[in-house]
Amino acid sequence: MGGGSVTAAVVSGPGRAELDRESALPLWAQLHDDLCRRLDEGEFTGSFPGEMALAEQYGVSRNTVREAVRRLRTEGVVVAGRGRRPRLATSVEIEQPLGALYSLFASVQAAGLEQRSVVRSLSVEHDGQAAEILGLEAAAPLVYLERLRFAGDRPLALDRVWLPATEAEGLLGVDFSHTSLYEQLAERTGIRLVGGREHIRAVVPTDDERAVLGIDDGIAAFSIERLGMTRDGPVEFRRSLVRGDRFSVTAVFSAQGGYQLGLDASGSHAGPDGWEPFDPVARDDGPTGTVT
């Protein structure tokens, strides 16, 4: 773990090792290596010790502990927010490829986790910004669906979707606690997406968003905005906030096709609310990205 090995500390049995204060290897590095060893041997499964406890165990300063823990945090082994006790980082549970149409519903189940949603809102409303992005008049009625998506017993994503009410009113009676939006959209309205565009960026959630997602201030999130298209034009605008500790995205590259991932270093793009014009007929490979 972390590529470390105990080179100066002396291991006398289970638990902590004695640090070698005569070694040229810094104490923080010895401590880092010994913590990696203990983690590999299955210690700290219940909880990871705090700074003060580690300082007392090893007889070192808290600055030494902080540097060792900082390295563990950089390596993704522990999560340590400002003023909070370090804890073991959880492995990412849901991994999604870029460049393919897929369902978060199915992906969560494929990971061996129960998928469910808490429906926070399903109604007809007016949202001028979402309507403009969908190419509608600002006063056009929209079907709005807001769900808190769970993978297993913990939240995964806060998902908000706007669709033209003229096409999606048939969804208003659906129980979305255990079903996919795209599945119901196809079944009840005949609408099937053929393409789209997404903008994915890392964000720091607000306090309210952290409370909803059940995360502390040591965990970031993905902000994912999607414009879903049929051959006739845009039909879905979605904003999703996905926990960064439970979700990752992957990209594919080859010598022939290059790297299939668009990067926007400036953080800005053209069009209403950042959406560029899109030709749904030019591409028929499904929307890139995330939730359904």
- Of 40, 73, 89, the residue that ends a domain is 89
pLDDT above 90: residue 148: yes
User: Total structural domains in the chain?
Assistant: 2
Q: What is the pLDDT of residue 249?
A: 73
Q: What is the pLDDT of residues 162-212, one digit of tens each?
A: 999 999 999 999 999 988 898 899 999 999 988 888 888 999 999 999 999
CATH number at residue 20: 1.10.10.10
Answer yes or no: is 156 within a domain.
Answer: yes
pLDDT above 70: residue 127: yes
Tokens 């992005």 belong to residue: 133
Measured CA to CA in angstroms, residue 99 lies from 128, 178, 253 at distances of: 29, 25, 11
Residue 78: domain span = 1-89
Answer yes or no: is 290 within a domain.
Answer: no
Confidence of residue 59 (pLDDT cuts 50, 70, 90): very high
Do 170 and 239 belong together in one domain?
A: yes
Ranges 7-11, 19-23, 62-66: which has the least confidence: 7-11
Q: What is the pLDDT of residue 152?
A: 82
Answer yes or no: is 280 within a domain.
Answer: no
Do 83 and 104 belong together in one domain?
A: no
Answer yes or no: is 283 within a domain.
Answer: no
